Structures are given as structure tokens and as C-alpha cells.
Structure 1
Amino acid sequence: MSTKVEAEQASVASSAQDLFTIIDGSVTTPKGYQASGLHCGLKKTERNDIGAIVSDVPATAAAVYTTNAFQAAPLGVTRESLSVSKQLQAVIVNSGNANACTGKLGEQNAYRMREAFAQQLDVDAHLVAVASTGVIGEQLKMDCVEAGVAALPEKLSAEREGAEQFSQAILTTDLVKKEACVLVNVNGVQVTIAGAAKGSGMIHPNMATMLAFVTTDAAVEPTALEQLLKKTTNQTFNMITVDGDTSTNDMLLVMANGTAQPEVLHEGHEAWHAFEAGFRYVCEVLAQAIARDGEGATKLIEVQVQGASSHESASKIAKSVVGSSLVKSAVFGADANWGRVIAAVGYAGEAVEPDKVDIHLGPIVVLEQSTPVAFDEEEALEYLRNDKIVFTIQLHMGEGEAVAWGCDLTYDYVRINAAYRT
């Protein structure tokens, strides 16, 4: 793990360090999980393009999905699986083809993926979730998919190698895999929460061209797990943007198999606060990693909004600023143009006091009570050369606050997306 990533993870966890322990782990670090990935022929390169996570036993599960009206076929299949018992034992994922906007045949193919993997594992079909990511509007090569599904079981491993192969299998334009892992103490027993994600372009929750998978060996009450997932998603994955495009395929899935301890966690449990903090940490690290790995990105942008009239208002303003193409371009060009920031605050559609706003660029005050403050341009230029840029916006209206993450807009973003299908 790089020093930069370690520093970021420490920053994310700083407010809750006593509640969990950060470890170098993966989706197979929690007890009772195996994973794998391989190349089945969906991608033109030899990179892995099909993968799976499998629990030794049925796990309590929950998921959230894209809000795009055109939802890929695998999402409907996964929804149906979870509707039966709120349990899953496996998830099968392919990259290179989104199986989105593919009509009845696409839907049939998603069911075929589910059925084929269920048969390989000898489990009920409703215990298998399906996810896809890649090019929209092309039918899956089912001969490749079914060959891959048949080859996966013998490659499943509880070791780090299995998780590594899975992480590689879900990538598209991503440059790096995204992982996070923590330990939480539940009445003297260590439970583990881990996650893996993919996402680089077409990122604008709710949710994004993003797939994320969280595994834990804790036992969690189903309703509590579902509510925790929704709450945490709003605080993390729904606070990132790369390019303002919301995908057809987004899914965040969590599985809790209870193999570390039989004690069922719920919102009234004494260890719930620690479990919730560890779960949020894993999701926040993955969300930031997606923003940092935005297509062509060179810098992570963090926007902190304070003093808003409500949390909801702060969230909208933070996402308005971090999603501004002009702000993103200024950060790429190391231009301390705070006027673009205040403009994005103003068009967010939220109430503000136009004569009360303060803005900081990192440690540098650039606006105070909506009045420009003279600052050292060379100092600002030096700050903007960092690979993480923080804007702090104080509205002086109330107690609402929120943080959003994004990335700069570079020439490479256009290059990558101009030739995505070719």
C-alpha cells in the first residue's frame, strides 16, 4: 500500500480511530469468503473479465442501485434474488460488457449467468447476485461467460490471491484496484469488514459507473444492515462525482455471513456504533479511491461545506462545487480561481447569504464575508500542485455540513472517452 493511500486512510479514520483497527486486507479477509477472477474473452486484452465472491454459508445481504431510469439487466436479477430471503451466498460479476439496454435477450442472459453459477456451486439460484460493467448496448457473448463461470469454482480461494484476481476482474478504465479493510471488536470477538470497488468514469451518484462489494463475518439483523447501507451510501458513494454522468449499472452490495460470531448486531447493540464506524470507513475509502482514479485524473478534490442551513443543503452545495467543470479545470491548471467556486455555490439551488461566505483554498483564505482577501499567488500555486486539493466553504447560516469528493478534468478524460468502444 502506498504512503499516499495510507495517509488518506488515516485521515478518513482519524475521528473514529478508537472504534476500529485498519488492516491490509481484502474481501476474503473476513472469515468464510472465497473469491477469484479470470479472463473468459469478453475483453479484447488478456485482463480478467469475470469474477466471483462466494460465502461458505448463506449471508444476510442488502444492495443499493443506480437511479438511472435505464437499469442494466443484472440489477433486476439481483433485486429478485434479494427479494426471496434477503440472503446471498455468491455474486458473479463480468466486466467488458454492461448488459444494459439489451432488451429481453439481455435479461435472459443475466438469468443464465445466475443459474449457471448457482449450478456450479450447487446452491439455489436466488442465493446468487449478478453484476456487469462495460460497454452499453451490446449483447453478452454467452459462450465466453458460461466457459468462465464453469472455470471459476476451482480457482476460488480464501487467500489474498483470490481477492486480487476478483479485483482485477471488475476493472474497466480503472488504473488501480480499490480495497479497504478493518477489524471491529464485538464483545471481545474481532469481526472484519472489507470491501472492493471499481469505478473511474461515468461517475455521478446516485450512484455511478461503480460496482462495490462489502463482505463481513459479523452477523447483522437484515433491516439494520439495509438501513446502514442506505445511510452510509448517502454519506460516501453518493458524495462523489467524476464527470456528472450517472450509469445504468451501479450497484453496492454487502454480505454479512456471521461466521466470526453468532451474536447478531442491530442498532441497539452496544457494539453497533463501532461496527457502523468501521463500515463507513470502508465505504469512504472506496469512494475516495474511485474519485481519485477518475478517468485521466491527476488530483483528488475535496469540498467541505460548513455552516449551511441543513445537512441536505450542505450536501447539494458540496456536490455542485466538486462537480463544476470549471472548478475541475482550474484545479487541473493550478489556477486559484475561487470565483468558479463561489459561482457553483450560487447555482446549487440552495439558500445562501450572499454577503456571508468564506472560502479557503487549503490553508489559504481567499474570500471572507464574501469579500476578496489578498493572498500570495505563488503560495496558492504551490498548494495547487499537490495531488489532493481541499476547498472549505463556510456559509455562516446554521449547523449543516457535508463533504464531497471529485477529481480534476484533464485532456486525458476526453481522450479516454472519445475512444471508449474502440
Structure 2
Amino acid sequence: MRENQSKGFAILLLFVSPAIALFSAVKHLEWKHKKLVLILFITIYGSLLKYGEGSDAAVYYQLLNSYDNMSFSEFFLRLEHIITFNPLPGSPNDVYVHVLAFFSSSILGMHDVFFPIVGFIYGYFYVTAMSKILVWEKGRKLTLSLLLIVILFIIHRSVTSFQTVRTWTGMWVLFNGVLGYHQTRQKKYVLLMCCAPLIHFAYFVIALPAFAALYIRKIPAKVIIAVYIISFFTSFNPGGILDAAKENSLAETKVGAYYRENAEGEGIDPIMERMEESNAVWYAKYGKTDSVYYGGHAFAFLLILSGYFKKKMTQVEIGLFGTGLMMAILANFGAFSYAFYSRTMANAVVYILGAVSLLAIRGAFSFRDTHNPRLMRFLNWVCILVFVPKMVFFVADLLVMTSVFILGLPFIGWVSSDLNISIREIMGEFL
């Protein structure tokens, strides 16, 4: 009864001060009660989202204009072309965005509900994943190592990530499907995994290792480890992939945006070129990508070297870590295109961190049953420290993306977008 009252109070408090409501829910409520509060918080966060010109969020807002007063016949015509991988000009490539844009812009006639809806869906799958991983007994000692590992899992793709709309929503949908299947063996979670490609076209490829890992118990650990190590030294033939992509206009466009060849037949990666020319500060340059991917590989090798893979893991941990290794293998094989490598490796890291979090929460990272516990604990800290640029970048990005009205009076930001300013902008006035 008291928990229900506290939940009700926290929900009401969201409309006065979302930040205080979040703190209250996290501190005082059990997962089954705090889950709704966290999802609603992310929904409100989405309604106050701050984004710059040229960002993914800005592009989606522009897309909504083309859906104003769209008829059902045109909606289904576009949907048919999207499903057959031949989207019409000006149409999104994915079913998810198409449906949400039509619902927000044409049915409701309100562009401003697009990101709250996106935030609610993203928040549901993100919070559900947190509620299944971050569970431990009351009174359990919270060490600094455990705290940092939990934080890494939470911030890997957090509230600042859903403004991309498709990529990381698809990641959390797929993650929940994988985790749910390995926890329960229920086929409904396989169907959930199949939903990821509907959210983002790329998951037709990225999700393949996740489906292969459903049979992880039948694949010898030594084989997976051997292929993982080999993947660092070889990659797919980009020429063959370019030729195969020409069979479909959408695939050709997507591949061409991430990798192409010049007149001399030399490979060009436009994403990598832009990154190399970037003058971004160190934590933005390394914290958004490299720190995360190197850290994921570091934890993977730690679990392999400690002998934990399969032998000292639960079935759920094996399922998550095996999925992470297989996705990392795919990422390494596709490293000729940085965009493909980056998205796939970001997915791999969430499974690796999920497995690491489960191990740390049940106390396995004491490494008492290894040959050299001190060395393993030292390497564990090395893995954590690799993520330092990521932690700094997350804080900086959070300040830029977060509206000051998350702290209080969110309805002011809803009344006028001109009044909606970020925490970073407020800090800039005083610093």
C-alpha cells in the first residue's frame, strides 16, 4: 500500500519537478513500482528534448511536414514500398518512423507529440532492460567497481540517445528479445527480436549474430574465441559487398553512404574522413565511439582470460556474452566501413556490459577462483578506466541535450519552445 502511494506521489511530482521525481523513485521504490515512473520521466524528457540544427531530431521534425493530412491510401502505398525495400522519394526507409510520423502528423495533427511517443517507446524497452539486469539483494555491499560497472551499463545508450529515433530503440528492442529468450526460453521473445529490423533497416544484418547465439550452447567456446581473435586481422571483401548492394536500390544507397570506391578502385570511408578532420574536444572525439568499443573488447578479453566464458557463467550470462562476442566478430569483419563497425560494435558492447553487470552483481568479479585474483582485479580496473572518456562525454552531452525544465516546471517548456533552454545554455550565462 505504501509503495503504491509513493508511486502515485512520484508520478504527480513528475509534472512539478521530473528530476526530483526520478530521484525519489530510484531511491524509494521497488523495480515493479519505479518502472512506470522511469518510463514517464523519459517521455517527459522527450517532450522537452533540446536538439541542434542538422541533428537527427531536427531531420525527423522536417520529415513530419510531408505527413500533414496524408491519406490512408498514400500511407499504405508508402508502407508497401518500404516493406519491399524500395521506398518512395521523401519517404523514410523504415516501418517504425513511417508509422509514427503518420500517427503524429496526420492522425493527431500534432508534430510535438512525435518525440514524447518516441521517448515512451524507447523508455519502455530501456527501463525494462535495466529492471532485468540491475537486480540485487537488499543489503548487498555496493563496491566502487560494481557501481562503475552498473553506471557504464546505464549510460551506454541512455536518455540522450533516443533522439536518433531508430538505431538505439532498435538496439534495446533486440536486447530485450535476446535477454528475455535466454531467461525464459519463450518463443515470444524471438518474435520481439524480429521487430528490430522494422525499426531500423540495419538490423536485418546486425541482428544475425543474436539469432545465431540462440544456439550458443551447441557452439564450443573455443571456436567462438578463435573466430573472435581472427576477426581482428581480417575483414569482408568490400568490393563484393558493393557489387551485391547494387542488386537493390536501397541497399546501394545505404552502402554508398558508408563506403565507396574512387576511380582508382581505392576504398573511401566518408564517415571516417569526417572524424579524422574533426576538431572536437578529446572526450567528444573518443568518448562517443573509441572508448566504448575498446572498453567492450577489453572486458571481452578479461572474461576470456579469466576462464569465465561458459565455465563459470549462468545460462543467461552465456547467452548475453556469446551474443556480444558474435556481434563483435561481425563488427570486426565489417570494419572497412566505420559506420557499420560503429553501429554493430555499439550493439555488441551492450551485451558484453550486460553480462559483466550480471557477473559483478552476483559477486563474481572478486576473481577468487582464478589463478591470479590480484591480476584479474587490476585488469578489471583497466577495463573500467578505458571508459573514462565515455563517462565525461555522457555528462557533457546530457547537459547539452537536457532542458532546464527537467529540474522543475516542465509545463513552461511545453507552452513555448522559445523558452525551452538547455542546462548547458544556463550554465554558459554564469561561467
Q: Shared fold by TM > 0.5?
A: no
- Greater helix fraction, Structure 1 or Structure 2: 2
Q: TM-score, normalised by structure 1?
A: 0.28
- Greater strand fraction, Structure 1 or Structure 2: 1
Q: TM-score, normalised by structure 2?
A: 0.27
If asked which structure has higher relative contact order (CA below 8 Å, sep 6+), I would say: 2
